[in-house]
Every structure is written in structure tokens, then in C-alpha cells.
Amino acid sequence: MIGITSYGAYVPRLRLSRAAAAQANAWANPGLLAQARGERSMANWDEDSLTMAVEAARDALAGRSTDGIGAIYFGSSTHPFADRQNAGLVAAALDLPESIGSCDLSGAQKAGTAALIAALDRVAAGGAGEALVVVGEHRRARPGSAQELQYGDAAAAFTIGGSAVIAEFLGGHSVSVDFVDHYRGTGQEFDYIWEERWLRDEAFQKWVPAAVNAALEKLGIDPGAIDHFVLAEPVAKLSALVAKRCGIAETVIADSLLGVVGHAGAAHAPLMLASVLQKAQPGQTIVVVGFGQGCDVLAFRTTATLGELPTRSGVAGSLKRRKEERNYPKFLSFNETVSLEKGLRGEANPQTALSAMYRNRRMLFGLVGGSCTKCGTAQFPPADICVNPSCHHQGPMQPYRFADEAAQIKTWSADWLTYTPDPPAHYGMVEFQRGGRFVADITDWDLGKVEVGQPVRMVFRVRGRDAQRGMVRYFWKAAPLAGAGEN
């Protein structure tokens, strides 16, 4: 039996109020007010598809070994790099062994389901004992557009394997149709979009239901026996059209999450699947449809093992970790769709030393320091000579990963002088309970709520962007743990 063995999800903490955004642009387009309901997820300035994918993967991998993972697939239409493997960087952030296969899937909104299929195929072919699938999307839209309200940022992750399966893969069916409801040319900032009526009438009333029907027939699944129908509809109510034409009950249509997350592009169908898995009972049938110039239809049946899976944050946990944002200009600035004054200090932009980055990749991306083989002191960064003043033992240290270690803020400040896209810059001495400390950026803070002794969780984030050279620099930051300032 091959199928899903674990899942995780991540939705950024910030949620843009659609009303706030619509009201800001209603002077030019009053029609936006019709969509001024609910909220959409909003990546912090230091989040992108890759950092969100890392968080989702950490959720999926929490408390379990990563030893069997032989491949990683990263599906997204908004990978930060066009030519530098994004999946490999995710693997490095997870400190997976380097002896794994890795692949980015992109180019359409169905890149998410394509990543799932690639992983399922690889495991089925014996190419990996287990494969990790991550999907993430950071969707930018033109200011004042309807898409700005409709899109969302999110990520999901799954492990695919042959033992301890929680959802058995029953099979799939794919069609490829050059149906262009929207597109984004290479080098273009934003999507170019055709009217919704075209999408609704020509795709969701014709070839999408045909593909779903073909899949159900091929797999011998009775539409009435489906417990969860997952279709990442680009706009509301399209799933119902498909369900109706396929004989699937309206009651089994999975929560689209559009009202609280928005549409997370290639990550959206997997995100909905992760959400369904968090609620599903053993023995249920799930049909997932990924849409985008064709569609992928995948069917799963949950197993008894699903009930034994340790609890995780998942979509529900991510949605609970929420902070409303009503500052529309801040949303624009975080998405770099407006260029706010940075000040002269914001001009500093050193080149990234790729060789130094490579030498220190486990430190920088895996947050791996050292543990002294003599006194056991955990320390960061790793060094040849132990930092403990009463030890100073010289010799190779045991690699020691800090990413999941409990930590707290030892000292801090909120700095209005230094450059950051989100002033004031918060940083401070972060101390790990089991040893080790370093001065780290603090992210996802609430102004006036940061304090000495506050527990934090280390998160993989964008440290800085070098727009001149197209480099995104990543490192780990400390995020205050849920509680302070959250609704």
C-alpha cells in the first residue's frame, strides 16, 4: 500500500482584512466592495513560498524521523529562484541528508498535485522509501485588482510512503488542456486574467467535470461514496458545478478556505487536502482535483493509522494563529507592489559570498551548530574550540540542530534606526534551554509585547533581498510563541 504517511500546513499569521483593502481602492473600483468580506492570508515581509513550505514541512515532520526520506518535491508557481533549486534549499532548511533526490515543479496551478503525483510515482517505482512533498505559494497581485482580494499565501506538506500510510493512494487521472483563464509570462510581475464567466462556463461546466467522471470511472469509485471532494476552485461556487455534474453530493464538498485564506494557487488543493485530513475519519474516500491547464484527479482512502497520527498544527492550528492586518499600504509594501522610502540605510546591499554560503550551508540553512564532545555544551555558530570558558576543548564537534530547540528571549530591543521593511527591527539575544545562544532577528512580533523571558520558536525566514542581483538570503529568526497579541 502506498499513500500519504503524514501531512502539515502553514498559513501566515497575518490576515489582510478584505474590507480594508477594498475600501482603499473603492474610489477607483467600487465593485471591489462586493468582495469586501472576510480576510486573506498575508505573508510577512520575510516570508515567501519557500519559507512557508519549510514551515509546512516542519509541521508534517514534527516528532518523527526523516531517515527514510529519499526525495523531495516542491510545487509552486512562485518559487523564489528560477534557476537555483528551491526544493534543495527546503531540504537544507530541514537538515535532510544530502543523499536525496530533489525536484521543483512549476508552470501551472496544478504544480501542487503534480508534485504529489511525482512523489507517489517515485515511491511506487521504488525510487525512494519515502518522499516529501512541499507546496507553497506567495501570490502577488496588482494593487487595486480583484485578485488582490482573492489570492492568499499558504503552504502544505505531505510525506508519501509505503508503510504507516494514513491515506492510501487509490489512483489518479490527468488531463492536459491549454485552457488559459489566466497566465503570467516569464518575467511578468502579475497574472493577466480573462473574465470569470469563461472560466465557469467553458472549464467548470465542461472539461473539468468530464475529467473527474473519467477518473471515477477508471478507479471504480461510486460518486455517492465520496466523503470529501477537494477542488481548489479559483473563485467561489465552481466546485458545486462540478460536483453536480459528477453526481457528488454537495455536502461532501471540502471547505474551500477562500473566505479565510484566499486562493493559494498551486498550494491550494494540497492545502485543502491537508485540511480534510485533519478532520477525516478512517475509511473515508477523498477525491482531490488540481486545476490549471488541465487537471489532476487523485483519489485516496484514509486508513486506521490516520487516527494514530500525533496531533499537529495543520490548517486548523495555522488559522488559529492569526493577527488581523488592516493596514493596506503595509500589505502593498510587504509584497513590494509599492516602493516605500527606505532611507539611506536601506541602500546597503553587500554581495552574497556564495562560497561562504556553501561552506556554512548547514549552519545557515539547517541552523546546525555544534555540541562539544567533551563538555556537551551546545553552541552556535559551530567552532573548532568549545565556547565554554571552563572547557575550550579543541576538536570536531557533534553537529547540533537548534531549529526545534526550546528558546527564550534573553535581551531585546525594538530598533527604529536600522533598516528593515517592517520597523522597528526587533532583535535580541535568544537563549536555548538546553544550551546555546546567539543574537537573532525577532519576527512576527507585536509592538510593545516583546519581553525578556518570552518563549520563542525558531523559524526559517528571508533575512534580506538583494533586488539588484536577484538573491534572497535566508536565515533563522525567533518568533514569539502564540499568546501575546493574538485574537
Task: Note the residues at the interface with other proteins (CB under 8 A).
Answer: 343-345, 348, 350, 352-353, 355-357, 360, 363-364, 377, 379-381, 383, 387-389, 410-420, 424-425, 427-429, 431-432, 435-441, 452-453, 463-464, 473, 475
Given the complex with other proteins, which of 35 and 360 has the nearer CB atom?
A: 360
Given the complex with other proteins, which of 244 and 342 has the nearer CB atom?
A: 342
| CA atoms of 67 and 452, how far apart (whole Å) | 37
| CA atoms of 100 and 211, how far apart (whole Å) | 34
Residue indicated by cell numbers 485540511? 275
Q: Nearest Cα to 241, choosing from 295, 214, 202, 195?
A: 202
Residue 48 Cβ vs other proteins, minimum distance, rounded to whole Å: 17
| CA atoms of 33 and 155, how far apart (whole Å) | 28
Q: Is 34 left (phi over 0), alpha (psi -120 to 50) or beta?
A: alpha
Given the complex with other proteins, which of 144 and 435 has the nearer CB atom?
A: 435
What per-residue string of b and e applies to 240-253 under the rule 16 or more CB within 10 Å gives b? bbbbebbebeeebb
Given the complex with other proteins, which of 256 and 454 has the nearer CB atom?
A: 454
| CA atoms of 282 and 290, how far apart (whole Å) | 23
Count other Cβ atoms within 10 Å, centred on residue 404: 14
Residue 423 Cβ vs other proteins, minimum distance, rounded to whole Å: 11
H runs (alpha helix) in 16-48: 18-25
Residue 441 Cβ vs other proteins, minimum distance, rounded to whole Å: 4
Residue 352 Cβ vs other proteins, minimum distance, rounded to whole Å: 7
Given the complex with other proteins, which of 249 and 356 has the nearer CB atom?
A: 356
Residue 403 Cβ vs other proteins, minimum distance, rounded to whole Å: 14
Residue 472 Cβ vs other proteins, minimum distance, rounded to whole Å: 12
Given the complex with other proteins, which of 332 and 478 has the nearer CB atom?
A: 478
Count other Cβ atoms within 10 Å, centred on residue 274: 30
In Å, what is the CA distance from 137 to each residue of 75, 82, 106, 239, 263?
9, 14, 11, 21, 9
| CA atoms of 130 and 112, how far apart (whole Å) | 18
Residue 409 Cβ vs other proteins, minimum distance, rounded to whole Å: 8
Which residues are within 8 A (CB) of 30 and not within 5 positions of it... i.e. 6 or more apart? none
Residue 427 Cβ vs other proteins, minimum distance, rounded to whole Å: 4
| CA atoms of 275 and 188, how far apart (whole Å) | 32
| Cell (9 digits) for 143 | 494593487
| CA atoms of 241 and 250, how far apart (whole Å) | 9
Angle formed by the axes of helices 238-246 and 208-219, nearest 10° = 40
Given the complex with other proteins, which of 253 and 363 has the nearer CB atom?
A: 363
Tell me if 16 sits within 8 A of 44, measured CB to CB: no
Given the complex with other proteins, which of 151 and 380 has the nearer CB atom?
A: 380
Count other Cβ atoms within 10 Å, centred on residue 308: 10
CA dihedral sign of residues 9, 57, 482, 18: negative
Given the complex with other proteins, which of 179 and 365 has the nearer CB atom?
A: 365
Residue 49 Cβ vs other proteins, minimum distance, rounded to whole Å: 21
| Cell (9 digits) for 36 | 469586501
Given the complex with other proteins, which of 171 and 424 has the nearer CB atom?
A: 424
Residue 371 Cβ vs other proteins, minimum distance, rounded to whole Å: 13
Given the complex with other proteins, which of 250 and 451 has the nearer CB atom?
A: 451
Residue 339 Cβ vs other proteins, minimum distance, rounded to whole Å: 19
Tell me if 96 sits within 8 A of 9, measured CB to CB: no
